Amino acid sequence: MKPNFDLSGRTAIVTGANTGIGQAIAVALASAGAAVLGVGRSSMAETEEQIADAGGRFASFSADLSTIEPVDAIVDAAVAAFGSVDILVNNAGIIRRADAIDFTEADWDAVMDVNLKTAFFLSQAVAKRMIPNGRGKIINIASMLSFQGGIRIPSYTASKSGLAGLTRLLACEWAGRGINVNAIAPGYFITNNTTALREDAKRSSDILARIPAGRWGDPQELGGAAVFLASDAAAYVHGTILPVDGGWLAR
Ligand code: NAP
């Protein structure tokens, strides 16, 4: 049997698709044939242009994911634009840096709300559409901090470790209903999220020294993993956290 990575006829929702990892994943899914609804609070014009250049289909929906208020409207928008919801990529995420001893409740709540709470309730909203169809794919963007502690990012580590657990729970509940729930755990990629790290000479060289591949990742290098997990080729893959990390976890 030839593995099938074709996403033609599928609709994907990608949160935070305006930049970085979300943009790269949106372009990869569209290049594999999916119609993509990009969801976020900033202009998606650049993503729209890249997808048009690749010959794909794209629409955008403006939503602030710091609350769960927009989740039903997001699903409705995908159905209105493209007729279905087959794939959800929970990519939108934030990070706040401070020593644990000084960390504030505001920085705890802000990160947990976007990275974990909205990811769960958006998954719930799409699953209500997917379950009657008997098919769907949910891909959570986890992190090395789904496996490790890190420093100075307590709410981020809690949210990404929580997202790994949630990925496994949802896989256990929904695998039998035809939904594949998995996660991608990116290593260290060049995006806005890691600007502070890359600008800190000591942290940057410590991180680089630990990456067997010897370089930071380019967000486009996550596209293949996303297409795989969104495709029929991953039909029997459930509840996995797939590292794409230049070998970081192997060291
Ligand atoms: P990024 O460039 O900062 O992208 C974050 C995305 O999330 C942006 O599109 C951002 O929109 C969106 N977002 C944040 N808060 C939002 C809100 N309240 N409502 C709507 N959208 C919101 O960083 P990135 O690296 O591509 O991050 C994408 C995901 O990958 C995150 O979940 C991050 O934790 C994860 N990750 C990144 C790395 C890495 O090395 N870069 C490693 C592991 C995991 P705005 O542009 O409007 O802020």
Structural domains in the chain, sorted by start: 11-243 (3.40.50.720)
Query: Catalytic site residues?
Result: 156
Q: How many Å lie between the centroid of ligand 1 and the Cα of residue 90?
A: 10
Distance separating alpha carbons of residues 115 and 104, to the nearest angstrom = 17
114-142 per-position pLDDT tens digit: 999 999 999 999 999 999 999 999 999 99
Q: What is the DSSP letter of 199?
A: H
Given a contact cutoff of 8 angstroms between Cβ atoms, the answer to whether 238 and 181 are in contact is: yes
Q: How far is CA 35 from CA 20, 147, 236, in A?
A: 19, 32, 23
The whole-number average pLDDT for the span 169-191 is: 98
pTM: 0.98
105-117 per-position pLDDT tens digit: 999 999 999 999 9
Alpha carbon nearest to ligand 1 atom 11, residue: 16
Choosing from 27, 36, 41, 222 the residue with most ligand 1 atoms within 8 A of its CB, the one to mutate for a pocket test is: 41
Instruction: Give percent of the chain above pLDDT 90.
Output: 98
Verify whether ligand 1 is closer than 6 Å to residue 143 (CB atom): yes
Q: How many Å lie between the centroid of ligand 1 and the Cα of residue 97?
A: 15
16-72 per-position pLDDT tens digit: 999 999 999 999 999 999 999 999 999 999 999 999 999 999 999 999 999 999 999
Distance separating alpha carbons of residues 81 and 133, to the nearest angstrom = 18
Q: How many Å lie between the centroid of ligand 1 and the Cα of residue 158?
A: 16
* Full DSSP string of 50-118: HHHHTT-EEEEEE--TTSSTTHHHHHHHHHHHHS---EEEE---------GGG--HHHHHHHHIIIIIH
108 class by beta-carbon count within 10 Å (0-12 exposed, 13-18 middle, 19+ buried): middle
